[in-house]
Amino acid sequence: MKNKRILLIIGGGIAAYKCLDLIRRLREFGAGVRVVMTRAAQEFITPLSVSALTNERVFTDLFDLDDEREIGHIRLSREADAIIVAPATADLIAKIAGGHANDLATSVLLASDKALLLAPAMNPRMWLNPATQRNVCQLEADGVRFVGPEEGEMAERGEAGPGRMAETSELISALEAMPGIAGSGKALLGSLSGKHVVITSGPTHEPIDPVRYIANRSSGKQGHAIAIAAQRAGAKVTLISGPVDLPDPSGVDTWHVETATEMKDAVAGALPADIAVFCAAVADWKVAEQVGQKIKKAKGAPSPTLKLVTNPDILKTVASLKSGRPKLVVGFAAETEKVIDHARAKLASKGCDLIVANDVSAATGVMGGDRNSVHLVTHDGEISWPEMSKDAVAAKLIDELALRLGDSKLAESTKKKRGQRRARAKPKKTKKVRKT
């Protein structure tokens, strides 16, 4: 968020007060915040308190001539890296979906080509009303992102359901994952269109008998977030997921598997791909011989001994394909110590192009948590990213991969062109030789 410029449009709802905390937190992260308030928003919080927190004037009126001369509505959008509307009321959502521009907030939005995030907050019946849902669908189809609303008690007594504005931490995580904040923004806005990305996610379960299995603590949150980010970047995405407690991301072709062997077969079936990201925490071993019936505890009998055999290494198999290898093969390394050293060793041993290394020691809370702090280890160096949400890591990684794929395309076409030039040069030379 450091040095990013956020344009916050505050709508008229009781949740407007949460924006004060949002501004404070964004500024703590090093972001600059500029605020537009609708007329209704000013009934809930004052421009004075907002401007005290942003340390800037607050913009409220489309017909303020000073504004138009000094900093018109076009500039408000042009000078922002991303725009958030919070709370996004039913009325504001309807106006944005309909392309209205009858006040400063809606005029800024209609004149903007920046990434837009809406944080809806309203009465549950207003949210569930088909008109609001239609507007939300339209805006999603237009590429607008939503965070929340959350379920819970409403400010009005006795009212509960979906309609509470997302908490500040959620708003910040969603902002961090926005194009323009997470990366260059260019890659996220469609530069993976026409590309196929295969992603593995979650744990694998290795059965011991029909009721017991060996598993690990992977939640699948990071892998699923990468699938969503790739889909948003315009890619055709095949997500191969072990057993997780997450919904299938919409617009992503999700295949469900249980064991490492099933995951390997699914990956083979999903190829060819331009990019393969192996985020799954594949079990290293499986039980050598599974029994068909539940192992019984017999009185006095010794505890059973499990013989384990090594599972196929899916990442290594794909990275070393002689033909049909994806152009970019990405692995993950979950380490508890010497994170970068181990990741570099893994980059070599697996034969992949990039390793995303993260520290999963218990103190970090990465396993199962919503935030991650990763290092990108490649053959030409390493980059460490600050701690951010898993959604933001996903968006930034996809941005990075799209740029690298673009570079390799560039390198390939340069090679091709050079080849063509050489090919064109050759006959000329032959002619000359013949002449002499």
* 231 to 270: interface string for ligand C5P, x by CB under 6 A: -----------------------------x----------
Residues 6+ apart with CB under 8 A from 186: none
- Both structure tokens of 349: 């041993």
Q: Which of residues 341-370 bind ligand C5P (CB under 6 A)?
A: 346
Using the minimum distance from each CB to ligand C5P, give the nearer residue, 51 or 373. Answer: 373
Segment (H or E) for 7: strand 5-10
Query: How many angstroms separate the CA atoms of 115 and 176, rounded?
Result: 12
331 touches ligand C5P by CB under 6 A: yes
User: Pick from 313, 353, 391, 399: which binds ligand C5P (CB under 6 A)?
Assistant: 313
- Residue 143 is given by DSSP the state T
User: Known catalytic residue: 123?
Assistant: no
89-97, 180-188, 327-335, 380-388 -> range binding ligand C5P (CB under 6 A): 327-335
26-34, 39-47, 326-334, 405-413 -> range binding ligand C5P (CB under 6 A): 326-334
Measuring CA to CA, which residue among 336, 388, 400, 416 is closest to residue 2? 388
- For the residues of 154-179, what is the DSSP string, one character each? -SSTT-EEEEEPPPHHHHHHHHHTST
325 SS3 class: coil
Query: How many angstroms separate the CA atoms of 268 and 281, rounded?
Result: 18
- For the residues of 9-78, what is the DSSP string, one character each? EE-SSGGGGHHHHHHHHHHHTT-EEEEEE-TTGGGTS-HHHHHHHHTSPPB--TT-HHHHHHH-HHHHHH
Using the minimum distance from each CB to ligand C5P, give the nearer residue, 179 or 223. Answer: 223
User: Pick from 19, 106, 278, 343: which binds ligand C5P (CB under 6 A)?
Assistant: 278
332 SS3 class: strand
166 touches ligand C5P by CB under 6 A: no
User: Pick from 333, 354, 357, 374: which binds ligand C5P (CB under 6 A)?
Assistant: 333
280 touches ligand C5P by CB under 6 A: yes
94-102, 106-114, 309-317, 319-327 -> range binding ligand C5P (CB under 6 A): 309-317
Q: Least distance from C-beta 257 to ligand C5P, angstroms?
A: 12
Query: How many angstroms separate the CA atoms of 310 and 316, rounded?
Result: 14
Using the minimum distance from each CB to ligand C5P, give the nearer residue, 112 or 216. Answer: 216
| Binding footprint of ligand C5P, residue count (CB under 6 A) | 14
Using the minimum distance from each CB to ligand C5P, give the nearer residue, 177 or 240. Answer: 240
* 193 to 222: interface string for ligand C5P, x by CB under 6 A: -------x----------------------
Query: How many angstroms separate the CA atoms of 36 and 26, rounded?
Result: 16
Q: Which of the following is catalytic: 216, 311, 358, 372?
A: 216
Question: Per this entry, what is the length of the chain?
Answer: 436
Query: How many angstroms separate the CA atoms of 117 and 124, rounded?
Result: 20
79-87, 242-250, 276-284, 371-379 -> range binding ligand C5P (CB under 6 A): 276-284
Q: Least distance from C-beta 343 to ligand C5P, angstroms?
A: 9
328 touches ligand C5P by CB under 6 A: no
Phi first, then psi, for residue 279 (nearest 5°) are: -100, -15
The answer to whether 247 touches 188, Cβ cutoff 8 Å, is no
4-12, 135-143, 306-314, 412-420 -> range binding ligand C5P (CB under 6 A): 306-314
Catalytic residues: 216
- Name the residues that contact ligand C5P, by CB under 6 A: 200, 260, 278, 280, 282, 311-315, 331-333, 346
